Structure 1
Amino acid sequence: MVVLNRIYTRTGDKGETALSDGQRVPKHSLRVEAYGTVDELNATLGLARLHASGDLAAQIAVIQNDLFDLGADLSRPQMDRDADAPYPVLRIIESQVQRLETEIDAMNAGLSPLRSFILPGGSALSAHLHLCRTVARRAERAAVALAAHEDANPAALKYLNRLSDWLFVAGRVANDMGAQDILWVPGASR
């Protein structure tokens, strides 16, 4: 259980922060960049959720919880030492990735195929979901950069990749099942 009785600690005043295993690292480290961008993604999803209702709102709520799991995962290095931790280590698992795939398939089944790229917009929810999609892509790039230099959970990388796809399809669903999608017209302003 997390207990936050003090919000500021002054321990990061010199540009370092603690990972979930207690190790102190610079705030500009690849690991901090990765889980910090996931935190930013969660904040943008919170804004999107303000415009959502029904199934999309419920699915976004689950994803926001997943993103805290993902942040916990990315903030703990040395996956090979998970068994030695004094508490259960939280990692993204394959079933979370599969849930996103199932939801993507279900949402996509009701959409017409695209014949053009779409521009973010249409409805407020769709515009917010497309913003979330771009932040998810940036979080994925940060996690991939981390994985190139340090250990990172492969399921976490897959989750971020599927999530950006989920957000794209959800953005179309939020646009009246694609009816309000704004199609890109190449060279339209020439």
Structure 2
Amino acid sequence: MVVLNRIYTRTGDKGETALGNGARVPKFAPRVDAYGTVDELNSTLGLARLHAEGDLSGMIARIQNDLFDLGADLCRPDIAKDSEAGYTPLRMIDAQVDRLEAEIDAMNANLQPLRSFILPGGSALAAHLHLARTICRRAERLTVELSRAEDVNPPALRYLNRLSDWLFVAGRVANDNGAEDILWVPGANR
């Protein structure tokens, strides 16, 4: 259980932070950058959810919880040493990726195929979801870069990749199932 009875600790005043295994690293370390961007993504989804209702609101809430799981996963390096932790470290699992895929398929079933790229925008919800999608892509790039130097749980990478697709499709759903999508017109302003 998490207990937060003191918010400031002063332990980061010199530009370092603790990872989930207790190791201290600079606040600009690649691992911190990756899970910090996941936190930014989660905050952006909080804004999006202000405009969501019904099933979409519930799906976003589940994703926000998943993103805390993902942050917990990314903040703990040394996957091979999980058995030495004294507790079971939280790791992303394939079932979370599978759920996103099922939700994408269900949402996409009601959409007309695209014949053009779409511009981010339309409804307030769609605009926030597109912003979240771009932050998700950045989190994915940072996590892929991290995985080239350190261990990263493979389902964590798959989750970020699938989530950006989910956010794109959900943005279309938020635009009246694509009817209010703003289509890109190549060269329109020449």
- TM-score for both structures, normalised by structure 2: 0.99
Matched residues in 2 for 1:141 and 1:42: separation? 16
Alignment of 1:64-75 (within 5 A): 64-75=64-75
Kindly provide the amino acid, as one letter, of the partner of residue 66 in structure 1: D
2:95 maps to what in 1? 95
- CA deviation after TM superposition for structure 1 residue 66, in Å: 0.1
2:114 maps to what in 1? 114
Kindly provide the amino acid, as one letter, of the partner of residue 128 in structure 2: H
Q: In the comparison of the two structures, how many residue pairs are matched?
A: 190
2:39 maps to what in 1? 39
Matched residues in 2 for 1:69 and 1:146: separation? 18
> 3-state SS of the aligned residue for 2:25?
strand
- CA deviation after TM superposition for structure 1 residue 174, in Å: 0.3
> 3-state SS of the aligned residue for 1:17?
strand
* Structure 1: unaligned runs, 5 residues or longer: none
Kindly provide the amino acid, as one letter, of the partner of residue 23 in structure 1: A
Runs of 4+ in 1 over 6 A off after TM superposition: none
Matched residues in 1 for 2:29 and 2:146: separation? 9
2:180 maps to what in 1? 180
Matched residues in 2 for 1:154 and 1:133: separation? 20
1:154 maps to what in 2? 154
RMSD: 0.4
- CA deviation after TM superposition for structure 1 residue 75, in Å: 0.2
Alignment of 1:15-54 (within 5 A): 15-54=15-54
- CA deviation after TM superposition for structure 1 residue 156, in Å: 0.2
2:79 maps to what in 1? 79
- CA deviation after TM superposition for structure 1 residue 84, in Å: 1.2
Q: Deviations over 1:31-64 (max 9, x none)?
A: 0000000000000000000000000000000000
1:127 maps to what in 2? 127
Kindly provide the amino acid, as one letter, of the partner of residue 98 in structure 1: D
* Structure 2: unaligned runs, 5 residues or longer: none
Matched residues in 1 for 2:155 and 2:34: separation? 14
- CA deviation after TM superposition for structure 1 residue 153, in Å: 0.5
2:13 maps to what in 1? 13
Kindly provide the amino acid, as one letter, of the partner of residue 78 in structure 1: D
2:136 maps to what in 1? 136
Matched residues in 1 for 2:153 and 2:80: separation? 10
Q: Deviations over 1:103-123 (max 9, x none)?
A: 000000100000000001110
Matched residues in 1 for 2:29 and 2:23: separation? 12
- TM-score for both structures, normalised by structure 1: 0.99
1:168 maps to what in 2? 168
Kindly provide the amino acid, as one letter, of the partner of residue 101 in structure 1: E
Matched residues in 2 for 1:141 and 1:79: separation? 20
- CA deviation after TM superposition for structure 1 residue 86, in Å: 1.1
- CA deviation after TM superposition for structure 1 residue 87, in Å: 1.2
Identity rate, percent: 76
